[in-house]
Amino acid sequence: MTLERKSKIITPDAPVIRDGEAILREARTLMTRRVTEPSRRAFLTRTLTLGGVAMLSGCSLDNNASVETALTRISRWNDRVQAAIFRKDALAPTFPASAITRPFPFNAFYSIDEAPTVDEADYRLELSGLIADKAPWRLDVLRDFAATRPSEQITQHICVEGWSAIGRWGGVTFADFLRRIGADTTAKYVGFKCADDYYTSIDMPTALHPQTLLALTYDGQTLPREYGFPMKLRMPTKLGYKNPKHIQAIYVTNTYSGGYWEDQGYNWFGGS
């Protein structure tokens, strides 16, 4: 497990003032992740200076806290750029069954044997916020709903820890579910609370994307415990940490609410 490696990136109380090159490396990564056009990317990374970071963020960079603030502001700016260039109907690549990675890797902020055990009989999906019908859902009712409009995908999952894998998830298109519960789809965010206390939130355009799936199965079987039983949100347009497993509650809101890794400095939009 790589909790230490992950949280090293931008911890709120890192002990030393960060050196200029490290600040620039981080800023470059944040700024250019979504700039796919090579000459523009090269231009941005070449021309980005410490003064530029200070200017973009309006921060002086004279102590550790100001570096954190600067990077957070650039990351928020990066969220806005990613949101602006997100194409709501552009599809992520899909793959043949022969390309599925076996076994599919496990990842969480703990080891595999600590993955939560959710009791199916007691399980209720809770709904809150800007949703007309907030009645909780039993798992069998959710499965029945999914069965009326089944959806499946074989897509790539990219984790920022340096691995990617192709997997097969089945369930119901999240947009169908949001419409069924009368979610306010003009709201900004959809948030998720998980059985292991993980949490994250996503932008509404991604929530409504045709490949965003409320996944109940993995490779044709009930979603296994370690991969997110009883349900996860699967988004091939976003990095691994944006895909919440073991979802217990869903809310719709106009208030930014971050996420487990996002609150430790990971970019919030997290597009892949």
Ligand X SMILES: Nc1nc2c(c(=O)[nH]1)N[C@H]1C(S)=C(S)[C@@H](COP(=O)(O)O)O[C@H]1N2
Q: What residues line the site for Mo ion (CB under 5 A)? A: 107, 159, 240-241
Q: How far is CA 209 from CA 174, 232, 249, in A?
A: 8, 16, 20
Q: How far is CA 76 from CA 69, 189, 256, in A?
A: 10, 15, 11
Nearer to ligand X, 74 or 118 (CB): 118
Degrees (nearest 5) of the Cα angle 21, 25, 28? 135
Helix spans in 16-94 (H): 20-32, 38-47, 50-57, 64-85
Name which of ligand X, Mo ion, none residue 244 binds, using a CB cut-off of 5 to 8 Å depending on partner kind: ligand X
105 touching ligand X, by CB under 6 A: yes
Residue 205 CA to its chain's centroid (Å): 13
Name which of Mo ion, ligand X, none residue 151 binds, using a CB cut-off of 5 to 8 Å depending on partner kind: none
Residue in 246, 248, 250, 268 binding ligand X, rule: CB under 6 A: 246
Name which of ligand X, Mo ion, none residue 249 binds, using a CB cut-off of 5 to 8 Å depending on partner kind: none
Residue in 108, 139, 154, 187 binding ligand X, rule: CB under 6 A: 108
Distance (Å, whole) CA 22 – CA 26: 6
249 touching ligand X, by CB under 6 A: no
215 touching ligand X, by CB under 6 A: no
How many residues touch ligand X under the rule CB under 6 A: the total is 16
Q: Which residue is nearest to ligand X (CB)?
A: 240
Both tokens of residue 56?
């973009």
Binding site for ligand X (CB under 6 A): 105-109, 159, 194, 196, 198, 227, 240-241, 243-246
